[in-house]
Amino acid sequence: MDIAFLLAVGASFIIAGFVKGVVGLGLPTVAMATLSLVMAPVQAAALLIVPSMVTNLWQLAAGPGLRALLRRLWPMLAAVVAGTLTGGALLPKDGGVWAVVALGAALMLYALAGLFSLQLRVPARHEAWLAPVVGAATGLVTAATGVFVMPAVPYLQGLGLARDALVQALGLAFTASTIALAASLALHGDFSLGAAGASAYALLPALAGMLAGQWLRGRISQELFRKCFFIGLFALGLHSALKPWLA
């Protein structure tokens, strides 16, 4: 790891941690978006494992009702793991330009959903069949892009959970996705001891950025920050999607 690489990783995770500190989510998404500017998505995905795991466990532990959420969400969580491992086995090991395009598309979809405050409504009677479908789709997107927000985040937001329960549910889903992504990368030789060490290094700037974001949270307009965040994320996604033709 040379100095330029360490600086790029550090800056990416400071920004990603800062966003998570302010709005409560977005660390893996922002890290993937920024790191993909300088490296392949599979390399970026390996780097985010440790920071994502630690910060999501932190978020998961802060909620009120883990056992009840596990009982409700386990079909989706199990499908996330299965979808990620299946996608990792079936998709090309090096997606090349199409992996970058897929990452850009996922980022743009997530950004548009946030910008326009798209809100699903998931009737309780449909959860039994919809949860595994959403989980499997999220797993496939995770395997292809390293981003595990679509369509899990809109689905969880549509369940009508209380705010604290929603934050904990997101932490639970992201933790399951991170574990599955780490397992998929390890099975294909993309999460070695060297990658684990680099990922552990990335935890320090991620936590520093997160603490700075939490300090600033009550001092700025969160709504304005969220809009700027999603606009920036859309721009990064557009750049990734067009990257093969810009080179």
**Distance, CA of 182 to CA of 42 (rounded, Å):** 11
Residue 19 has pLDDT above 90, yes or no: no
Output the six-digit token pair for 126. Answer: 């449909």
Q: What is the pLDDT of residue 208?
A: 93
Residue 231 has pLDDT above 80, yes or no: yes
**Distance, CA of 29 to CA of 210 (rounded, Å):** 14
- Which region among 11-15, 98-102, 120-124 has the lowest average model confidence (pLDDT)? 98-102
Range of the domain at 242: 3-246
Range of 27-31, 135-139, 146-150 with top mean pLDDT: 135-139
**Distance, CA of 220 to CA of 107 (rounded, Å):** 25
What's the domain count of the chain?
1
Nearest Cα neighbor of 118 from 150, 76, 79 is: 150
In angstroms, how far is CA 108 from the centroid of its own chain?
A: 13
The average pLDDT across 191-197 equals: 77
- pTM for this one? 0.82
**Distance, CA of 108 to CA of 94 (rounded, Å):** 22
